[in-house]
Amino acid sequence: MNEALPFSTPDNGTFRIALYPGTFDPITNGHIDIIKRGLHLFDRIIITVAVNVQKTPLFSLEQRCAMIRECFQGQEDRIEVGATDGLIVEYALQHGARAIIRGLRAISDFDYEFQLALMNRRLEREVETVFLMTGFRWIYISSSGIKNAARCHGNITGLVPKHVERALQEKFA
Ligand code: COA
């Protein structure tokens, strides 16, 4: 599946590229907060829709990528959206990224993220994982929690961008 990314340039030491991988089913305001803050540290972020074999997404890969693209319209010089069903570290190297950004919400995330980071390091030592603390406003949200609320027609305004809110409402109409 490894989509070609027209904007990627190899990391020549002055241009810092990071990957922000996830399932993004769908992207939330918590993810967007991490991406915006990541842009203070990196020149370009490749938001990478990846496969977690334990999840069955509600939205197709194309829908998830399109929703992410809509969030960052006009910022294509710094934000790319890609997808892979392969190893994240391989995708990172192929696109000149030496860092993987992950957001940490609470202690409960730590165990899982620690294992993921160590496994990625075991697979490829050239790629570092960088953790950003999730913004306090978003500490309690997850894609699943938002989907569950939307499924029961709960109010999810302010937790996801408007177009994502509409997509969820259509799914559960
Ligand atoms: N705001 C809101 N929610 C957040 C968040 C934030 N800042 N940070 C994390 N989350 C939530 C997500 O919404 C998601 O919620 P959900 O479980 O309800 O869907 C959850 O935290 C974590 O999901 P995500 O960040 O999408 O990660 P993941 O565990 O689904 O997937 C991959 C992680 C895809 C990066 C990982 O499976 C992977 O690397 N796969 C590729 C294969 C590979 O390389 N494997 C080797 C490594 S072991």
Q: Could you tell which of 88, 94, 95 is best to mutate to test the pocket of ligand 1, judged by most ligand atoms within 8 Å of the CB?
A: 88
Q: What is the pLDDT of residue 92?
A: 97
> Per residue in 137-162, is it b (16+ CB within 10 Å) or e — as a string?
ebeebebeebbebbeeeeebeebbbe
Q: Is 15-137 assigned to CATH 3.40.50.620? A: yes
Q: pLDDT in tens for each of the 173 residues of the chain?
A: 555 454 555 545 568 999 999 999 999 999 999 999 999 999 999 999 999 999 999 999 999 999 999 999 999 999 999 999 999 999 999 999 999 999 998 888 899 999 999 999 999 999 999 999 988 899 999 999 999 999 999 999 999 999 999 999 999 99
Domain boundaries, the chain: 15-137
DSSP 103: E
Residue nearest to atom 1 of ligand 1 (CA): 30
Query: Which amino acid is present at 166?
Result: R
CA distances from 40 to 22, 34, 47, 154 (A): 20, 10, 15, 34
The answer, yes or no, to whether any atom of ligand 1 lies below 6 A from the CB of 84, is no
pTM attached to this predicted model: 0.92
